[in-house]
Amino acid sequence: MTAEDGFERRDGELWAESVPLREIAGRFGTPCYVYSRAAIEARWARYRAAMGNRGSVCYAVKANGSLALLGLLAEHGAGFDIVSGGELARVLRAGGDPGRVVFSGVGKGVEEIRRALGAGIRCFNVESAAELERLAAIAREAHTPAPVAIRINPDVEAPTHRYIATGQAESKFGVPLEEARALYRRAAAEPALRVRGLAFHIGSQLMSVAPLEAAAERAAALVRELQAEGIAIEHIDAGGGLGVRYTRESPPAPSEHVEAVAGPLAGLGAELIVEPGRALVAEAGLLLTRVEYLKQGGARTFAVVDAGMNDYLRPALYGAEHAVEAVAPGEAAERRLDIVGPVCESADVFATDRPLPAAAGDLLAVRSAGAYGAAMASQYNGRPRPPEVLVDGAHTHLIRRRESAEDLMRGERLLPGS
């Protein structure tokens, strides 16, 4: 990891841009999410440069929906890929343009569709025949034609964790190619719908662009068939999924991602959309945590930290591995440690058998935690969710405060008479 991701070592100590992480921990406490504005903007610039005049970059909000990050990307002209009405509300609150929003997801509710249609979003990425019928009925009721794309399932295997593979035949996502043709004909014949595009997304944390290229080729073949029938396709949403470095991975560059899908889709007269999420924010953030205790358990030595799986779920959910570093050099000798949290679950483990110089009270950084970290955090075990801090040069901005004990019970009521 280098200064390119917004974090670097100075005299052995880890800094976020021009602020030592030690200072952030002292001011905001731990656990705490820390993001680098410069790193996010650098990644955005690489994607925007790769796209050129070929189309739009829509940030996948599910990766990290913090208002400050959404507002920052909106200022740079980002579009947004959403999967819920709540994410739409976040985008609008952050100043995002609804005309640059695409709405994906297999389970769009009636009220979610109504709100999105009323907001004037760019497109609904439809994922089933039943959804298409629901969308048409709501559009007729609202006297507002709904812009649609069919999300196809290209049946392309993505070499990634099975929980984040979305483009194979058995996946719940998208519509099989053989069914998509009929759905497009149905949509084109429905006065309450407006066919705008075609969409696909095959999975996340991809370390090769070959599956993306294969999916784009299948999408291009379908677009040609539709065009031959007189069904115009104005844009092709090629999804996201580009991997990032968590430990030793070597992910493709944004330019490789864009070229892989742009090549097969060239010459179709359609605007290209890509939807990076993790690739924009993961390496630009980390989770700062403090060692509470060192504990011996048979042949293993545990470093029990104050962050838990409720704060950062990826290791427990996916078995994900992250680089974990000591924030500052100390007097502790390096030893092999299991980094574990305080949650009462055996899955609450951040790393195993890692060589680290750590003692009780020392700060550790869980790297590449800017995506699917704060977004997935919960209050499990009665633990308030951690704060989020954005570093901008020498300035730190608290973009989400630490929750309080009162926040844990907000909205709840005792039974009458209790």
Catalytic annotation present for 58: no
Instruction: Let me know how long the chain is.
Output: 418
- According to the annotation, is 372 in a ligand binding site? yes
Q: Count CA atoms closer than 13 A to 139's CA, side-chain side.
A: 22
Is-contact 199 187, C-beta < 8 A?
Answer: no
Residue 411 amino acid letter: G
- According to the annotation, is 341 in a ligand binding site? no
Distance CA 341, CA 280 (A): 27
Distance CA 106, CA 173 (A): 6
Distance CA 35, CA 22 (A): 14
271's tokens: 């605007």
Instruction: Give the burial string for 138-175 (b: 16+ CB within 10 Å, else e).
Output: bbeeeeeebbbbbbbbbbbebebeeebbbbbeebebbb
- According to the annotation, is 277 in a ligand binding site? yes
- According to the annotation, is 163 in a ligand binding site? no
- According to the annotation, is 345 in a ligand binding site? yes
Q: Which of 32, 58, 123, 344 is catalytic?
A: 344
Is-contact 217 264, C-beta < 8 A?
Answer: yes
- According to the annotation, is 12 in a ligand binding site? no
- According to the annotation, is 256 in a ligand binding site? no
Q: Which residues pair with 151 in a beta bridge?
A: 199
* Sign (positive or negative) of CA dihedral 280, 163, 374, 311: negative
- According to the annotation, is 197 in a ligand binding site? no
Cβ within 8 Å of residue 147, ≥6 positions away: 121, 122, 123, 124, 194, 196
142's tokens: 């609202």
- According to the annotation, is 194 in a ligand binding site? no
- The binding site for pyridoxal 5'-phosphate comprises 241, 275-278, 372
Just list the catalytic residues.
Answer: 344
- The binding site comprises 241, 275-278, 314, 318, 345, 372
